[in-house]
Structure 1
Amino acid sequence: MLQIALWKRVLIWSALAAGLIFSTPNLFYERVERHNDAAAEIEALGATPEREADLALWPNWMPSSLVNLGLDLRGGAHLLAEVQVADVYEGRMDGLWPEVRDALRDQRAAVGSVRRQPSPPDELRVRISEPAGLAVALETVRGLARPVATLTGVGASDIEVAGDGDEIIVRLSEAERQATDDRTIQQSLEIIRRRVDEVGTREPTIQRQGEDRVLIQVPGIGSADELKALIGTTAQLTFHPVVGRTGEAGGDLGAGNLLLPSMDEPGVFYIVERTPVVTGEELVDAQPAFDQNGRPAVNFRFNPTGARKFGDYTAENIGSPFAIVLDDEVVSAPVIQSHIPGGSGIITGSFSVEESTNLAVLLRAGALPAELVFLEERTIGPELGQDSIDAGRIAALVAFVAVMVFMAASYGLFGLFANLALILNVAMMFGLLSVIGATLTLPGIAGIVLTIGMAVDANVLVFERIREELKTAKGPARAIELGYEKALSAIVDANITTFITAGILFALGSGPVRGFAITLGLGILTSVFTAIFVTRLLIVLWFERRRPRTIEV
């Protein structure tokens, strides 16, 4: 008999209700978006009357998930940046020098005195005063090597050590360079994400392209320059011992030293040791504040490791100056007056309130491990996005109306049932897109339009099969039941192959291709559900009410 169990009916209606409820916020997009932004800002930054007013625009008991609009629909900024991964090699060599120096000093009887020599950025050259002890020195430095921490680098060491007369040459191994490049790109991606979306409401697209490039797309931001201002600086905070102060840019600095300009004193330069005492990587917090004179400043706090280093250095160097360096400029160089325990301090300088706030954001996000060189930048205006939305809406409506007219003309009342299921299908698709937080792009709209056309395929198969069964003089109830049973295998086969194609597009594609794959895949799921279960439920309800002796499909 043509019937559906009560528990199945409850599940079908529940699924439809959930789809409609979760898709509803998209009908009030601007209000819900302001509500969501206000909720995130209140949680991160605190409540204000304006944020409370925006929060009240949408009921808290209603779902508030939205389909995110992509860059091509909403407008925003697009950047393509190249990460200067070679910069990291120099930092690794600088960080390795204290270990090499201390290890060789333990072998002083054999190697004599140790002095660092000028070298390329990706090398560390060390001269020993006793060339006869070169073999001992090489063995000692090789003992500092560590295994490469990647699957592709199993069995390899992170450094290569060679000798040249009385010099030791240390380089990163090829496996370690590859691992370092991968870590640098991944770290850059995460830090860029923190900087451009600290509150978590912008939905940026930040992904790796090729070996050393990063694609950054942020919908809703004013311009590419505004985006570059957020991510265009490394915000590298370090603390260095001060060797001297000078008013000249040249002169002999000595091996292992740097000449850095003062940020607040034009024409003044500081000679500092190249290797920092503490780095910004050991920062755990930075907040805008005011100093004792009421001028804008930034409070900072180190993690336990950084706090110990900072405390030990200040305890051992009371009366000596040390430099607070931000992006290769000396912010200040105070004299250590006393031991500073606890790992906290304050950065003062010629800051405005806005500059101190931005600096705190950059420091909290962390330092970029390498410089970014911007190769491509575009600002996409919201007018272009609105044009795309309007064009997509028109295309979807035309497709929707054309399909509904065809179904009604071809299958009569059964076609109207299919049209109602089609409307519910689109609502469920938007509900799923909202729940998973998917980003809708122009190719995504194309996927929705394609889904609208494909959604009735299953109904066409069922209805044609019912027509065939009616020709064999079976009763209407049995014809409907057999129509669904015999068409099921063809429906499942056709949609599984399309779903596999969508999965491959998602796995191998990127950006807009993935957006198309997501809407196509979700559309297949919802269309199969509505075609097999929803239209059948509608037909059963009609049949139970009317009990027709004959039907026409």
Structure 2
Amino acid sequence: MKWDRVLRLFAVVIAVVVIAVFSVQPIFPNVKWLPLTKEIPLGLDLQGGVHVALEAHDTEQAKVNDENMKQLLEAIERRVNAFGVSEPIVQQEGDRRIIVELAGIKDPDQAVRDIVKTAFLEFKTEDGKTILTGADLKNAVESSDPVTNVVEVGLEFNKEGTQKFAEATSANVGKRIAIILDGNVLQTPVVNEPITGGKARITGYANLEEAHTIAVLLKSGALPLKTEVIEKRTVGPSLGADSLSKSIKAAAVGLIAILIFMLGYYRLPGMVANFALVVYGVIVIAIFAAMHVVLTLPGIAAFVLSMGMAVDANVIIFERIKEELKSGKSLRSSIESGFKRAFVAVLDSNVTTLIAAAVLFYFGSGPIKSFAVALSVGILTSMFTAITFTRWVLHLTASTGIKNTKLYGAQGR
């Protein structure tokens, strides 16, 4: 019966190792022999991209206030999201600044130009009268004719815009209506007949990518305020890959040092702690993937820090167990008593760190929030593995008949 428990423990170890192999793929994306799993998105500092600080300015038409800044933020968010950027960061900073971080951008300069474009659309008659603006648009979609290969942007007007366009085209049959974007005339088609369906086309684009950019700008609407780029930092993909490689190596060295120390100093409990540390890593990575946590350099630092705190909890517990063993208690009683006596100390240290992480998340931005989230996930997971999983494995080990107190570091060190 005792060996049945040993085999059960061995099966759990094998299962955890297999899960670990599947789970480490997101942080080792270039290791081809590992099975593919759901990737954890990498931040700007790990895969390259651009960091932009925008500042809003007053104009004759609109002043910088809370309402206009909210509209500006929403318009920029719509543009960034439509560009298909993975896990972008768009947030307001202060009264008139907006921070934008785009990871994995191939052409940062073009992305910035597209973000700050005014994108003011007008339809004007030959006498210069504006009949429609971008505010009358419902949708804009790029397309390419499979036969003629003509690339265009299809416009669909809202109810009010449809009525305006129908009235304007009815009154201007045989005349030209100019389509103007940011003051530049895109085309001047002739109205052959009234258009009552609420749709129009803009042609003359070189490719679908150019048409897609225009469609995105039109759908996001004109920016309500004049914006200026006051800071732009570009991180190259090679620099990001180098940072990721160095971070992984540093984490691996730290992990190996911890595993050797725990095994050498605490012996059998140390081996259990190492096993629990593997489980901890698997759970944290799985949570990161499930929450779509953007992994950054500060996030990796938080992961390593929480890994150290997980080991620290085990150290406190094992020292308590050794004290109980030295007092003459049985192994099972020492394990149970050690966990109970260490629980308050472990809980206090983790709760205070969680409070600090909450403060960082609330007042911080960008990488600081990434650090706070990764630290919080790591701490909560470490409490689970230390208080429940390690305890269960130690009891399971004690049930196998391995009761030599020297193996638990109580004597003969």
Q: TM-score if structure 2 supplies the norm length?
A: 0.85
The aligned amino acid for 2:370 is G
Task: Tell me by how many angstroms 1:356 deviates.
Answer: 3.2
CA offsets, 1:321-353, max 9 Å, x none?
Answer: 43211111222334433221110111234x322
Query: Any unmatched runs of 5+ in structure 2?
Result: 1-8
Match for residue 363 of structure 1? 218
Q: CA deviation at 1:294?
A: 6.4
Partner of 2:117: 233
User: What residue is the counterpart of 2:163 in the other structure?
Assistant: 308
Say which of 166, 186, 207 aligns to 1:353.
207
CA contact (8 A) 1:421 1:535 kept: yes
Matches within 5 A, 1:122-521: 178-197=65-84, 202-243=86-127, 272-273=128-129, 275-280=130-135, 282-289=137-144, 295-349=150-204, 351-354=205-208, 355-521=210-376
- Displacement of 1:381 in angstroms is 1.4
For these two proteins, the number of residue pairs brought into alignment is 396
Task: Specify the code of the residue in structure 1 equivalent to 2:93.
Answer: Q
Query: Does residue 69 of structure 1 match 2:42?
Result: yes
Structure 1 window deviating more from structure 2 (203-212 vs 408-417): it is 203-212
CA 1:385/1:293 → structure 2, altered by over 3 Å: closer, same or farther?
A: closer
Give the C-alpha shift of residue 278 in structure 1: 3.9
Q: In structure 1, what residue type is equivalent to 2:76?
A: L
> How much has 1:87 moved relative to structure 2?
6.1
1:19–1:432 contact (8 Å) kept in structure 2: no
| Deviation for aligned residue 1:408 | 1.8
8 Å Cα contact 1:19-1:428 kept in structure 2: no
Q: 1:66-117 CA distances to partner (integer Å, 9 max, x unpaired)? A: 222111111122222223453652xxxxxxxxxxxxxxxxxxxxxxxxxxxx
Is the 8 Å Cα contact of residues 85 and 212 (structure 1) preserved in structure 2?
A: no
Q: Which has the higher contact order (CA 8 A, sep 6+)?
A: 2
Name structure 1 gaps, 5 residues minimum: 1-8, 33-56, 90-121, 123-176, 244-271
Q: Is the 8 A contact 1:238 1:276 kept in 2?
A: yes
Shift of 1:20: 4.3
Percentage of identical aligned residues? 36
The one-letter amino acid of 2:157's match is F
Alpha-carbon distance in structure 2 between the residues aligned to 1:58 and 1:472: 48
Cα–Cα, structure 1 residues 439 and 19, in superposed 2: closer, same or farther, change >3 Å? farther
Distance change (3 Å), C-alpha of 1:295 and 1:481? closer
Deviation at 1:510, TM superposition (A): 0.6
Inter-CA distance 344–240: structure 2 relative to 1 (3 Å threshold): same
- Provide the secondary structure at the position in 1 that maps to 2:327: coil
Q: In structure 2, what is the Cα distance between the partners aligned to 1:460 and 1:206? A: 42
Question: RMSD value over aligned CA atoms?
Answer: 3.1
Q: Does the CA-based 8 Å contact 2:134-2:222 persist in structure 1?
A: no
Is the counterpart of residue 536 in structure 1 residue 391 in structure 2? yes
Structure exhibiting the larger radius of gyration computed from Cα positions: 1
More divergent stretch after superposition (338-347 vs 354-363): 354-363
Tell me the distance in 2 between the aligned counterparts of 1:78 and 1:291.
38
What corresponds to 1:86 in structure 2?
59
Q: Distance in 2 between matches of 1:58 and 1:298?
A: 43
Alpha-carbon offset, residue 305 of structure 1: 2.8
TM-score by length of 1: 0.65
Separation in structure 2 between the aligned mates of residue 359 and residue 182 of structure 1, nearest angstrom = 23
Tell me the CA shift for residue 380 of structure 1.
Answer: 1.5
* Aligned residue identity for 1:238: E
**2-structure distance, mates of 1:363, 1:16:** 51
Per the TM alignment, residue 235 of structure 1 is displaced from its structure 2 partner at its CA by 2.6
Residues 312 and 183 of structure 1, relative CA distance in 2, 3 Å threshold: farther
**Residue in structure 2 matched with residue 41 of structure 1 by the alignment:** none
Amino acid at match of 1:543: A
Residue 29 of structure 2 is matched in structure 1 by 29
Task: After TM superposition, give the deviation of residue 184 of structure 1 in Å.
Answer: 2.9
Q: Between 326-335 and 513-522, report the one with greater CA deviation.
A: 326-335
- Label 1:332 to 1:394 Cα distance change in 2 as closer, same or farther (>3 A): closer
Deviation at 1:492, TM superposition (A): 1.3
CA–CA separation in structure 1 for the residues paired with 2:149 and 2:309: 66
| Residue type of the alignment partner of 2:123 | F
- Distance in 1 of aligned mates of 2:123 and 2:59: 23
- The letter for the 2-side match of 1:204 is P
Amino acid of the structure 1 residue aligned with 2:215 = A
Compute the displacement of 1:366 (Å).
Answer: 3.6
User: Partners of 1:217 and 1:425 in 2: how far apart?
Assistant: 31
Contact 2:76 2:115 in 1 (8 A): no
Distance 2:172 2:18 in 1: 66
- Aligned counterparts of 2:194 and 2:31: Cα–Cα separation in 1: 54
Rounded to whole Å, the distance in 2 between the matches of 1:291 and 1:328 is 31
Q: Deviations over 1:239-271 (max 9, x none)?
A: 12331xxxxxxxxxxxxxxxxxxxxxxxxxxxx
